[in-house]
Amino acid sequence: GENVEQHPSTLSVQEGDSAVIKCTYSDSASNYFPWYKQELGKGPQLIIDIRSNVGEKKDQRIAVTLNKTAKHFSLHITETQPEDSAVYFCAARSPGSSGSRLTFGEGTQLTVNP
Amino acid sequence: EPEVTQTPSHQVTQMGQEVILRCVPISNHLYFYWYRQILGQKVEFLVSFYNNEISEKSEIFDDQFSVERPDGSNFTLKIRSTKLEDSAMYFCASSIAGASYEQYFGPGTRLTVT
């Protein structure tokens, strides 16, 4: 089955700096890659996603890039703010019996220092 | 904005007892999911449900687990005889359709088995 690895596990940046989180996946058939933000005591919140027919997607300060050949994708947050502090999870979806299972990475604890 | 809701937020139960975790998916969504997150670990897929039947389940989802959509709004996860290792955060998610669509997560139910 699919395996997703994520790094770094913790990331500390100064407010205004950029943050980059990277994930690799194992199943070359995976075709959908969402990113979730999880604040303490809350459920994962979808912040951006990318499909395998696209190499990059941007939404304001957040962007995601996908390299299908290398099987890795990255989350880029620019001009970080203290409210960006949270755990970020990447995930991948591979066509399976229903094609709906998400496989998650281990998570990255992002801390933005004021 | 519509959201997935879950009850209770925290459930404490004794080993061997049955528990039912409840979810109300987003109203026009047709696919429903359960995931779990053991403290400090990654989010893991349990089961997906569509058209009143399980469409996919993971190796974690053994005979002690069952899911049901008892009416037009609720989606439940039942654990028949809880074990200590079932202690985790359980997240319900829903999507408007299957493989190509975003999954939206609820806030979770923290299950503690003593």
Distances (CA, A) of B13 to A8, B21, B79, B84, B85: 35, 12, 11, 10, 12
pLDDT for A23: 98
Q: Report whether pLDDT(B99) > 80.
A: no
* pLDDT (mean) for A90-107: 84
Distances (CA, A) of A36 to A19, A104, B60, B100: 15, 10, 22, 17
Q: Would you call A98 and B98 a contact, using CB atoms and an 8 Å cutoff? A: yes
pLDDT for A48: 96
* pLDDT (mean) for B89-112: 90
**For chain A, what's the residue count?**
114
User: Per-residue confidence at A105, pLDDT binned at 50, 70, 90?
Assistant: very high
8-state DSSP, B86: G
* pLDDT (mean) for A98-111: 90
Mutation site for A-interface testing, chosen from B10, B34, B45, B94 by largest number of A Cβ within 10 Å: B45
pLDDT in tens, B34-72: 999 999 889 999 999 998 999 999 999 999 999 999 887
Residue with tokens 């995976």: A30
Mutation site for B-interface testing, chosen from A101, A103, A109 by largest number of B Cβ within 10 Å: A101
Work out the minimum CA distance from A34 to partner chain B, whole angstroms. 8
pLDDT in tens, A78-96: 999 999 999 999 999 987 6
pLDDT in tens, A22-62: 999 999 989 899 999 999 888 899 999 999 888 999 999 99
Of A16-30, A51-65, A89-103, B81-95, the one with minimum mean pLDDT is A89-103
Token readout for B81 is 């005889």
Percent of residues, chain B, with pLDDT higher than 90: 81
